Amino acid sequence: MFRKKKNEPAEEKKDETQKNEQRQEQMCCDCQQLQELKEKFIRVSADLQNYRKRVEKEKAQWIKIAQSELLTDLLSVVDDFDRALQESKKEGVPQELSVFVDGLEMIYKSFYKFFDKYGIKEITEIKIFDPNLHEAISQIDSSDHKSGEIVQVLQKGFMLKDNVLRPAKVVVAK
């Protein structure tokens, strides 16, 4: 009654072969997509790493800028203490102020301890003018100094580690 056709097993094989080919094509597409996603992941990961490095670098620069601005503002306070102490050492200052002057000297020394703690040093190269360390306010004729030598320091200069925080303001011989 029911007879099997002879072509049925051949058709089954043909259908199975087609299905296998479709699966292989799908696998190839999936492999390509996987490879593309891997490459995209690597690029995104590298971008993220570069972003983190850039943010850390910018953060360090902002901290350095903020620190130098704050310390530069403190230098004017130290200059005021320096001037007050120089005036107190002049003759004619009442002896009653000696306790007050001693207090000023203690505060002045505390500032310098603070500076040492954070790597701030006074510029001590005050013989020959160096535009990297000094700011020439004026030039004068001087028989005691050679041309380019510093005659007078008007305002002390300071370094923060290896960078000039504030150049020394000087008068230079012509």
**Amino acid identity, residue 115?**
F
pLDDT for the residue numbered 6: 53
d(CA 130, CA 148) in angstroms, rounded, equals 9
pLDDT tens, residue order, the chain (174 aa): 555 555 566 777 777 888 888 888 888 888 999 999 999 999 999 999 999 999 999 999 999 888 888 989 999 999 998 888 888 887 777 777 788 888 889 999 999 999 999 889 999 888 889 899 999 999 998 888 888 899 989 999 999 988 899 999 999 998
Which domains, ranges and CATH numbers included, belong to the chain? 120-174 (2.30.22.10)
d(CA 41, CA 107) in angstroms, rounded, equals 58
- What's the distance, CA 79 to chain centroid? 26
d(CA 81, CA 105) in angstroms, rounded, equals 8
d(CA 98, CA 78) in angstroms, rounded, equals 19
For the chain, what's the residue count? 174
* Helix, strand, coil content of the chain in percent (nearest 5): 60, 20, 20
Q: Quickly tell me which residue has 């996603």 as its tokens.
A: 37
Secondary structure of residue 44 in the 3-state scheme: helix
DSSP letters, 56-117, are HHHHHHHHHHHHHHHHHHHHHHHHHHHHHHHHHTSTT--GGGHHHHHHHHHHHHHHHHHHHH
pTM higher than 0.85: no
**Angle subtended by helix axes 8-88 and 98-117, to nearest 10:** 160
d(CA 168, CA 33) in angstroms, rounded, equals 65
pLDDT for the residue numbered 5: 53
pLDDT for the residue numbered 3: 53
pLDDT for the residue numbered 42: 95
